[in-house]
């Protein structure tokens, strides 16, 4: 409005000077016209020499972890910038690092602090810089599209010991699958050595290379525990961090880290839209693979837990324990779990009480059995204080 008023006043002044031919009126009109042009051009010239640098030491952050970001603004042009607004255009909850500064010859730096509130990819940037001239009549802004992408992992919390030594696990014995029940896997080929059985010869490759080639075998890579994560959107309730899906993913990450930190192998299956199956790997760190997946996992499937396609594959692999994480009251997943358990496999169930997350009231109508370790998780629970129970016939 001030610019419009100034423009109209300037036009009237010049018109009056033209009618009256008064020299001071002409001088004032010309001076104001020059001032108007200078005020319009000032921010456009000043903003061209401004450089923005954002520095973030990302590391491997998790939800709830604090971070620091450093802004450095400097100006290359000779035109001063007395009013510069720097605004962050990223959509990080509760994070507003922008400020208004004055730029001269020296660079200006400041540090902003925040907390990662959501797992997944977080974007720092783009950045908008707005420059105004001293009179406040005209502004000009530039958008810097540089971004820093950070993968935020789910919150990892202390957990009770899941796979205890037999002496500490009351009422049970330490049990392992029989390795003889699982045939070795073909690991590769090598040149034939006298004494190799004919059953080891890889005939197609021997024909192709015109010399005998023998197969090499490896013991199948097993998981000490398989984590089964329920990502059926129909059974999850709540929003943000206080939702069953976020609690379930945090549970899966916490279990995986606990088991992996003890030098044991972890596998994970999920009934998401892709039917994810993460088997233990001989080279890649499996804890990082699982955390990378959990960081971006979503409850995006309409497939119930009992129908997950990876159950049959778990049945064929040696394992020590299966841990199911679900808020589903459907008894079908219980029957599937009991059917594939096999000999010497411990069963663990983390049941998320959806009623405490805003879900409908419901009573479980299935029996997990006396040999299943059950942990009931409610909103606000401290994972390190979860209590194991085997009285799982009903939950009220």
Residue range 324-344, pLDDT digits in tens: 999 988 888 888 887 877 667
Tell me the pLDDT of the chain averaged across its residues.
81
Q: Residues 6 or more apart from 23 whose CB is under 8 A from it?
A: none
Domain 49-152 coded CATH 1.10.540.10? no
How far is the C-alpha of 229 from the C-alpha of 367, rounded, in Å? 20
**Would you say residue 175 has pLDDT above 50?**
no
Judge if 49-152 and 223-385 fold alike in CATH terms. no
Per domain, the residue ranges of the chain are 2-46, 49-152, 187-218, 223-385
Residue range 227-277, pLDDT digits in tens: 999 999 999 999 988 999 999 999 999 999 998 888 888 889 899 998 888
Helix runs in 297-346, H state only? 311-316, 332-340
The Cβ of residue 348 has, within 10 Å, a number of other Cβ atoms equal to 21
Task: Give the pLDDT of residue 186.
Answer: 56
CATH of domain 223-385: 3.40.50.410
Give the mean model confidence (pLDDT) for residues 188-209: 80
pTM for the model? 0.76
Indicate the SS3 state at residue 8.
helix
How far is the C-alpha of 155 from the C-alpha of 294, rounded, in Å? 10
**Would you say residue 95 has pLDDT above 60?**
yes
């Amino acid at each position: 409005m001030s610019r419009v008023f100034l423009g109209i006043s300037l036009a009237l002044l010049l018109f009056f000077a033209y009618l009256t031919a008064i020299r001071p009126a002409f001088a004032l009109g010309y001076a104001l016209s020059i001032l108007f042009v200078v005020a319009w051009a000032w921010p456009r010239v000043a903003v061209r020499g401004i450089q923005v640098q954002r520095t973030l030491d990302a590391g491997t952050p998790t939800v709830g972890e604090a971070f620091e970001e450093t802004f450095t603004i400097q100006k290359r042009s000779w035109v001063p910038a007395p009013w510069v607004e720097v605004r962050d255009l990223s959509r990080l909850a509760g994070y507003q690092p922008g400020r208004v500064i004055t730029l001269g010859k020296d660079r200006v730096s400041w540090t902003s602090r925040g907390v990662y509130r959501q797992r997944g990819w977080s974007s720092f940037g783009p950045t908008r810089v707005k420059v105004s001239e001293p009179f406040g009549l005209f502004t000009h802004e530039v958008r810097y599209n540089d971004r820093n992408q950070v993968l935020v992992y789910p919150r990892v919390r202390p957990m009770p010991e899941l796979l205890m030594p037999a002496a500490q696990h009351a009422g049970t014995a330490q049990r392992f699958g029989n390795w003889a029940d699982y045939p070795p896997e073909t690991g590769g080929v090598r040149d034939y050595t006298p004494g190799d059985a004919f059953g080891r010869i890889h005939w197609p490759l021997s024909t192709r290379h015109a010399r005998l080639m023998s197969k090499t075998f490896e013991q199948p890579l097993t998981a000490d525990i398989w984590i089964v994560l329920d990502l059926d959107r129909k059974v999850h309730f709540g929003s943000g961090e206080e939702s069953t899906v976020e609690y379930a993913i945090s549970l899966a990450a916490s279990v995986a880290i606990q088991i992996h930190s003890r030098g044991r192998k972890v596998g994970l299956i999920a009934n998401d839209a892709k039917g994810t199956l993460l088997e233990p790997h001989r080279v890649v760190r499996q804890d990082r693979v699982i955390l990378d997946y959990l960081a971006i996992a979503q409850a995006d499937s309409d497939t119930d837990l009992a129908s997950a396609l990876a159950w049959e594959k778990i049945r064929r692999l040696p394992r020590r324990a299966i841990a199911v994480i679900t808020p589903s009251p459907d008894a079908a997943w219980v029957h599937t779990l009991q059917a594939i358990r096999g000999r010497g496999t411990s069963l663990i169930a983390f049941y998320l009480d959806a009623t405490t997350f805003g879900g409908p009231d419901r009573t479980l109508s299935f029996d997990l059995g006396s040999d299943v370790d059950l942990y009931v998780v409610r909103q606000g629970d401290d994972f390190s204080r979860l209590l194991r129970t085997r009285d799982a016939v009903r939950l009220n």
